[in-house]
Amino acid sequence: MQNKTQHDAILGKLVSLRQGYAQKLSDKISEIDAAHERLLKGNWNQHQAAVLHGLLHKLAGAAGTFGFLEIGQSARNGEAVLKDFVDGITEPDSRQKELLAEHVARIKESYEQSSLDSTDLKIEVPAYHNITDGDTDVDNRLIFLLEDDVALANELVTYLAYYGYHTRHFECIGNFKQALEKVEPVAVISDIMLPDGNATEILENIQSDRAKPLPVIFITILEDMLTRLHAVRSGGVAYFRKPVDPTKVVDTLDSLVSRKDNEPNRVLIVEDSISLSDFYSFILKQAGMETLVVNDPMMVMQPLEEFRPDLILMDLYMPGCSGLDLAKIIRQQDTFHSIPIVYLSVETNTEIQMKAMRPGGDEFLTKPIKPGHLVSSVNSRVRRARILRSFMVRDSLTGLFNHTLTREYLYRELEQARRRNGLLSFAMIDIDNFKSVNDNYGHTVGDQVIRIVAKLINQRMRKTDIIGRYGGEEFAIIMPDTSAETATSILDELRHNFSQIPHQYGDIEFTVTISCGVAEFPACQSAATLSETADQALYEAKNRGRNQVVKAERNSDLLHQEQR
């Protein structure tokens, strides 16, 4: 939850946005009043009725969003009176005409009685747990290990170090509690039965004083339901029986860390009202999202290409191009076929909502929408879309990008490097003698080795690097703004670390190595040449005895052919 200072800062910004809207509100109401007068003088011309209907529709959504609830409701009522006439269904009778006049008059009265005092502000100030829960003080690679079996503890500390985690080991609860007062780990790994007490009881007391529970991974010989229940109540997110498979512990830690390291949701806001788009953008940014606003729907394609949003938040009624038509245009392009489109509108007619959903809409949010509801809806929709997209573009065994998408990224990153006159390295990695691993220990162990390579690469590379599974035991890494020399150094450290990891098959312990080949742009001018040159360098690494990294030489045959 945010503290009072943060709450006041958010409220202050919302008040400022409201005041900015209020300064324009007088003109909007005058425009509605003039449109109503033209409708009366024009003997209820249908075109003039449609103009007034559109103005009332816009006011109904925006006014309520900025806390002018009575104005918004009166506009909504006036819009409802006109709807059947605008749609050509019925002619308005005298009572409906009187009602419209009353609603327009009520809009003006409500505005004259409204206040800009922040104490009168009827806008929800949402509480953002993900911004203010203290995560910035947490070391996302620090683990506290509470275990009195020193041999097991040393084994876990060593294994976790291979994957970039640094672990502090405690044999008793007292020292653990003292350390927890000074620094916070990303997670705790704990035995249950310790010399100075039951860890679940101690941790449950610790968790009761915390605003946010500390994730705990329990390792124990106990299996009974009551112990599992106590483990869950004391913050347990995983429960492993001894002897512990360290790869499963790493998987759990990685899932915890990835929640904190996830890239922010990227939301493209298409809304012709500048006041509303600023409001939505501010609310979503406060929730940790990245936003890009487009106020003219006819100008959406280039921002869509460059921003690559996770979700499009779109008004349904916009001048020049409706949200319905814009959704059809977007869905005609394969690249944007899976991006969720969420409509924002005061439209409550379910038939119209369903019509808007058919060409590609995913959800319909009715204005005015509370900030908390907006954030929650966007988060849940993006989360589902990312999961579905991962099934299409990621390898099921490793979670890395598949071959097809990795190739697409290589073409894209190469063009960006070319435009920036920058560097780009491309690396191919292969597991040495992988066939013998499968032959000697079975395909299940072989798959485990592949997963460990993928996990190590994923942890050691930057967020900007793109990692894919290129083939059976082959991987590819795209490293923007990186020279071949730097890439070679990074990969050589990765190669060394992997060679030290012990793998288990029953009582047999063995190690595996990898070989790497590296090529770079601008020495290689095309994606095909980058790939072929890196593959040639990988082949050379195999020929030199494996377990090494080879950087492609500038005078290689492929480079020479390309230059000709």
Q: What is the pLDDT of residues 68-127, one digit of tens each?
A: 888 988 988 888 888 888 877 888 888 988 999 999 999 988 888 876 554 455 555 555
Identify whether residues 526 and 380 lie together within a single domain. no
Do 351 and 458 have their domain in common? no
- Is the pLDDT score of 480 beyond 60? yes
Answer whether residue 258 shows pLDDT above 70. no
- Where is pLDDT greater, at 516 or 65? 516
Q: What ranges in 114-141 are assigned the alpha helix state H? A: 129-132
Model pLDDT, residue 559: 46
State the pLDDT confidence band at 1, using cuts at 50, 70 and 90.
very low
Six token digits for residue 405: 């998408």
Question: Is 474 a residue whose pLDDT tops 90?
Answer: yes
Q: State which of 17-21, 375-379, 472-476 shows the largest mean pLDDT.
A: 472-476
Using the 3D structure, point to which of 65, 86, 120 is the last residue of a domain.
Answer: 120
Q: Rounded to the nearest 5 degrees, what angle is found at the Cα of 281, between the Cα atoms of 279 and 379?
A: 115
- Residue 107 in domain: yes
In DSSP terms, 468 is beta-bridged to 401, 476
* Assigned domain for 71 exists: yes
Residue 432 pLDDT > 50? yes
DSSP one-letter code for 331: H
Q: Are residues 407 and 493 in the same domain?
A: yes
Backbone dihedral angles phi then psi of residue 193, each to the nearest 5 degrees: -90, 110
* Range of 116-120, 205-209, 356-360, 422-426 with top mean pLDDT: 422-426
Pick from 181, 296, 192: which is nearest to 236 by CA? 192
Q: Give the pLDDT score at 130.
A: 43
Whether residue 113 is found in the same domain as residue 145? no
Among the candidates 225, 246, 261, a domain finishes at 261
Q: What is the pLDDT of residue 564?
A: 38
> Region 301-326: what's the mean pLDDT?
85
CA 369 to chain centre: 22
Q: 361 pLDDT band (50/70/90 cuts)?
A: low
Is 42 contained in some domain?
yes
Q: What token pair was written down for 275?
A: 């006041």
Which range is least confidently modeled, 116-120, 294-298, 344-348? Answer: 116-120
Q: Would you say residue 353 has pLDDT above 70? A: no
Assign residue 530 the CATH number of its domain.
3.30.70.270
Residues 6 or more apart whose CB falls under 8 angstroms from that of 511 comprise: 499, 500, 501, 502, 503
Largest CA distance in the chain: 94
| 287 and 199, same domain (yes or no) | no
- For position 139, what pLDDT does the model report? 55
Residue 126 located in a structural domain: no
How many structural domains are present in the chain? 4
Q: How confident is the model at residue 381 (pLDDT cuts 50, 70, 90)?
A: confident
276 lies in the same domain as 240: no
pLDDT confidence of residue 129: 45
Task: Give yes or no for residue 394 having a pLDDT over 60.
Answer: yes
Q: DSSP character for 135?
A: G
Band the pLDDT of 54: cuts 50, 70, 90: confident
Q: Where are the beta strands (DSSP E) in 258-325?
A: 266-270, 290-294, 311-315
For range 454-467, the mean pLDDT: 88
pLDDT band at 348; cut points 50, 70, 90: low
The mean pLDDT of 196-223, rounded to a whole number, is 88
Which own/partner contact pairs does 240-245 have at CB distance under 8 Å and 24+ positions apart?
242/152, 244/152, 244/156, 244/219
Is the pLDDT score of 460 beyond 60? Answer: yes
Tell whether 166 and 253 lie within a shared domain.
yes
Q: What is the pLDDT confidence band of residue 557, given thresholds at 50, 70 and 90? A: very low
pLDDT digits 0-9 by tens, 411-431: 888 988 998 899 999 999 999
| pLDDT reading at 392 higher than 60 | yes
127 assigned to some structural domain? no
Q: What is the pLDDT of residue 296?
A: 92
pLDDT of residue 122: 52
Classify residue 410 by burial, with Cβ atoms within 10 Å: 0-12, 13-18, 19+: buried
Whether 522 maps to a domain, the answer reads yes
Residue 215's CATH number = 3.40.50.2300
What lies within 8 Å, CB to CB, of 57 at 6+ separation is 75, 79, 317, 346
Total residue length of the chain: 564
Lowest mean pLDDT among 75-84, 136-145, 462-471: 136-145
Q: Based on the domain organization, do 375 and 449 belong to the same domain?
A: no
- 140 and 204 share one domain: yes
Which range of 254-263, 287-296, 297-306, 335-344 scores highest in mean pLDDT? It is: 287-296
pLDDT (mean) for 11-39: 85
Q: Is there a single domain that holds both residue 62 and residue 157? A: no
Q: pTM higher than 0.85, yes or no?
A: no
Q: Are residues 530 and 437 in the same domain?
A: yes
Question: Does some domain include residue 125?
Answer: no
Q: Are 69 and 8 found together in one domain?
A: yes
pLDDT > 90? residue 184: no
State the pLDDT at residue 556: 47
Which residue range is the domain that position 455 belongs to? 403-563
pLDDT band with cut points at 50, 70 and 90 for residue 293: very high
- What pLDDT score was predicted for residue 135? 41
pLDDT computed for residue 560 by the predictor: 43
Of 120, 140, 162, which marks where a domain is finished? 120
Element housing 88 (H / E):
none
What pLDDT shows up at residue 124? Answer: 58
Average pLDDT of 215-237?
91
Q: What is the mean pLDDT of residues 363-387?
A: 82
Exposure on the CB side of residue 559, measured as CA atoms within 13 A: 17
Q: Is residue 398 part of a domain?
A: no
